[in-house]
Amino acid sequence: MPMITVSGPATDVAQKRKLVEGLTKAATEAYGLPADTIVVIIQENPPENVARGGVLLTDRQPKS
């Protein structure tokens, strides 16, 4: 049973549905397995828990 783990920003349920449907479809095509054997885990990371270049995402200035 393939397991796909996605780590990213928090998002709404509609976006999560779209994400897991697309990932499951790609995995079923790649592995030739039925969709119900594919497990997708979404790990959400709020911006105060992620940094890029030594700066928390929550502290970064938006680009204009």
5-38 pLDDT per residue, tens: 999 999 999 999 999 999 999 999 999 999 999 9
The predicted-structure confidence for 41-53, as pLDDT tens digits, reads as follows: 999 999 999 999 9
Specify the CATH number for the domain of residue 10. 3.30.429.10
Q: How many domains does the chain have?
A: 1
pLDDT band at 64 (very low <50, low <70, confident <90, very high): low
Dig out the tokens for 6 from the structure. Answer: 């996605």
Dig out the tokens for 58 from the structure. Answer: 């929550």
For residue 64, tell me if it sits in a domain.
no
Domain that holds residue 9: 3-59
For residue 36, tell me if it sits in a domain.
yes
In degrees, to the nearest 5, what angle opens at C-alpha 32 toward C-alphas 9 and 30? 45
Dig out the tokens for 22 from the structure. Answer: 């697309």
